[in-house]
């Protein structure tokens, strides 16, 4: 069995996360028991939610245990199998974590899924045709429930979720306005992802400036919003929201270092009779097949063309993760292991 490099959580962050919170270790891969498969990971997914799990605090999911392999999505190839449903060479997606190999119970529901890499690139199953894409699909279709011609906004617009959100919303005849960091990302959002407009939050760094920019980009107000960031961006959206607007609350990355994110004017929720709903996509697995089918169709048709930022080698994962939290990536942040 191969030697396995792994990254474990060494210590919990005090404020902003640092590379010192992680440790690279090497371990032996255990022999397979009956019903198990050995997966060699090709790509590791890095996602903002991982920062929240590094804290030892109440959240929607259990904290990442200290001294154990960091949790995370992976795609790879079965290289040994003792389960009848999996053969050597099968391409699979799972939650293998920050390591080169994983031993998986092939019969456990939800741990491993075979995928077809003939038309959709394998790495896309961690982004556009994976958890981030389904996140965008669920928030859009089940919470925002858009109608053709409505104006929708999304923060972190050029990330994996925002990219999919734009394609899905445009397919439903909506006007879509993104919020992203920097002129290059905003140009990418409009020129390649199909956004009707994109606002640079670095150039509009406070509530007043962002509210004015949203008013210019959304002259008929905002009917639906997908929130990944929080803070003053959400406050600005609420100021421009129409009556009966819907907000899908997916992430609050502005507060992942532990600081509270107070809402400046919650009375707007009542004044506009708004629906604000938080959700965790893993709690809605019954929708995944429908969502993945639509997302794969958009990729094959060329209507969803997401970029990827790819770090090389497992040892690069901590730095790449910190860069993700600072907005240095464009599109889906991955670590290539093979």
Q: Note the pLDDT of residue 62.
A: 79
Please give the residue range of the domain that contains residue 102.
3-127+307-336
State residue 259's pLDDT score: 77
The predicted-structure confidence for 290-327, as pLDDT tens digits, reads as follows: 999 999 999 999 999 889 999 999 999 999 999 999 98
Mode of pairing for the β-strands spanning 36-46 and 101-105: antiparallel
Instruction: Give the span between the Cα atoms of 267 and 282, in whole angstroms.
Output: 31
Indicate whether 118 and 39 sit together in one domain: yes
Cα separation of 211 and 234, whole Å? Answer: 10
Domain-located, residue 290: no
- Asked if 132 and 204 touch (Cβ cutoff 8 Å), the reply is no
**Looking at residue 121, what is its pLDDT?**
96
Same domain for 275 and 150: yes
Q: 242 and 149, same structural domain?
A: yes
Q: Which tokens go with 217?
A: 């980009």
Q: Tell me the per-residue pLDDT of 249-285, one tens digit each, with 9 for 90 and over.
A: 998 888 777 778 889 999 999 999 999 999 999 999 9
Is residue 205 in a domain? yes
Asked if 136 and 113 sit in the same domain, the reply is no
The span from the CA of 128 to the CA of 193, in Å, is: 12
pLDDT exceeds cutoff 80 at 288: yes
Segments of 30-96 assigned E as strands: 36-46, 74-81, 91-94
What is the C-alpha to C-alpha distance for residues 225 and 236, in angstroms, rounded to an integer?
Answer: 11
In a domain, 195, yes or no: yes
Which CATH number fits the domain that encloses residue 85? 3.90.180.10
3-state secondary structure of 116: coil
- Quick one: pLDDT at residue 1? 83
- Cα 320 → chain centroid: 15
Specify whether the backbone of 134 is left (phi greater than 0), alpha (psi in -120 to 50) or beta: alpha
Instruction: Please give the Cα distance from 94 to 112 (Å, whole number).
Output: 5
181 plus 315 within the same structural domain: no
Residues whose CB falls within 8 Å of the CB of residue 32, separated by 6 or more in sequence, listed in order: 38, 80, 81, 82, 103
Mean pLDDT of 237-252: 96
Average pLDDT over residues 218-238: 97
Residue 261's pLDDT is what? 87
Q: Where does the pLDDT of residue 126 fall: very low under 50, low under 70, confident under 90, or very high at 90 and above? A: very high
Same domain for 267 and 320, yes or no, is no
Q: Are residues 166 and 121 in the same domain?
A: no
Q: Quick one: pLDDT at residue 173?
A: 98
| 135 and 98 part of one domain | no
pLDDT of 89: 97
Domain annotation covers residue 15: yes
Q: State whether 99 and 157 are in the same domain.
A: no
Q: Is residue 32 part of a domain?
A: yes
Residue 192 pLDDT > 90, yes or no?
yes
In this structure, the answer to whether residues 271 and 313 fall within a common structural domain is no
| pLDDT at position 8 | 98
Average pLDDT over residues 67-91: 97
In a domain, 264, yes or no: yes
Inter-residue long-range contacts of 52-57, CB under 8 Å, 24+ positions, other chains counted: 52/256, 54/9, 54/12, 54/13, 54/17, 54/21, 55/12, 55/13, 55/258, 56/12, 57/258
Which SS3 state, helix, strand or coil, does residue 90 take? coil
Q: 147 pLDDT exceeds 90?
A: yes
If one counts every other C-beta atom within 10 angstroms of the C-beta of residue 16, the result is 13
**What pLDDT shows up at residue 110?**
83
Q: Tell me, what DSSP letter sits at residue 99?
A: B
Q: What is the mean pLDDT of residues 185-202?
A: 97
Residue 58 predicted with pLDDT over 80: no
In terms of Cβ atoms closer than 10 Å to its own Cβ (0-12, 13-18, 19+), residue 338 is exposed
Checking if the pLDDT of 211 tops 90, the result is yes
- Percent of the chain surpassing pLDDT 70: 99
Residues 180 and 241 placed together within one structural domain of the fold: yes
Q: Residue 288 falls within a domain, yes or no?
A: no
If asked whether residues 261 and 161 sit together in one domain, one would say: yes
Of residues 98 and 109, more confidence is placed in 98
Mean pLDDT over 169-174 rounds to: 98
pLDDT-derived band at 336, boundaries 50, 70, 90: very high
Domain count of the fold of the chain: 2
Mean pLDDT over each residue of the chain, to the nearest integer: 95
* Residue 276 forms part of a structural domain: yes
Residues paired with 262 in a beta bridge: none
Please list, in sequence order, all residues whose beta carbon lies within 8 angstroms of the beta carbon of residue 105, skipping any fewer than 6 positions away: 35, 36, 111
CATH of the domain at 155: 3.40.50.720
Judge whether residue 61 has pLDDT over 80.
no
Strands (DSSP E) found in the chain:
3-9, 22-28, 36-46, 74-81, 91-94, 101-105, 112-114, 151-155, 175-180, 197-200, 222-227, 241-249, 275-278, 308-312, 332-336
């Amino acid at each position: 069995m191969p030697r396995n490099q792994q990254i474990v959580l060494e210590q919990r962050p005090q404020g902003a996360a640092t590379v010192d919170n992680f440790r690279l270790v090497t371990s032996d891969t255990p022999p397979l028991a009956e019903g198990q498969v050995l997966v060699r990971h090709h790509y590791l997914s890095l996602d903002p939610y991982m920062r929240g799990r590094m804290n030892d605090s109440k959240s929607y999911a259990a904290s990442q245990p200290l001294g154990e392999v960091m949790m995370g999505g992976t795609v790879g190839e079965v290289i040994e199998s003792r389960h009848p449903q999996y053969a050597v060479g099968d391409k699979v997606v799972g939650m293998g974590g920050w390591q080169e190999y994983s031993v998986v119970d092939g019969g456990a529901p939800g741990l491993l899924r075979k995928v077809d890499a003939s038309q959709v690139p394998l790495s896309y199953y961690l982004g556009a045709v994976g958890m981030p894409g389904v996140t965008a699909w669920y928030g859009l279709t089940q919470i925002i429930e858009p109608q053709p011609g409505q104006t929708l906004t999304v923060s972190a617009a050029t990330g994996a979720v925002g990219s999919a959100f734009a394609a899905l919303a445009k397919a439903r005849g909506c006007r879509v306005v993104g919020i992203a960091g920097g002129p290059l990302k905003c140009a990418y959002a409009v020129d390649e992802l199909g956004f009707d407009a994109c606002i640079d939050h670095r150039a509009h760094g406070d509530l007043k400036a962002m509210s004015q920019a949203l008013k210019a980009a959304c002259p008929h107000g905002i009917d639906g919003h997908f929130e990944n960031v929080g803070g003053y961006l959400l406050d600005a959206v609420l100021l421009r929201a129409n009556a009966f607007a819907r907000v899908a609350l997916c992430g609050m990355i502005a507060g992942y270092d532990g600081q509270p994110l107070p809402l400046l004017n919650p009375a707007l929720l009542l004044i506009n009779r708004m629906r604000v709903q938080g959700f965790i996509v893993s709690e809605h697995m019954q929708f995944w097949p429908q969502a993945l089918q639509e997302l794969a169709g958009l990729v094959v048709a060329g209507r969803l063309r997401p970029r990827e930022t790819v770090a090389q080698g497992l040892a690069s994962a901590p730095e790449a993760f910190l860069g993700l939290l600072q907005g240095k990536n464009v599109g889906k942040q991955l670590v290539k292991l093979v």
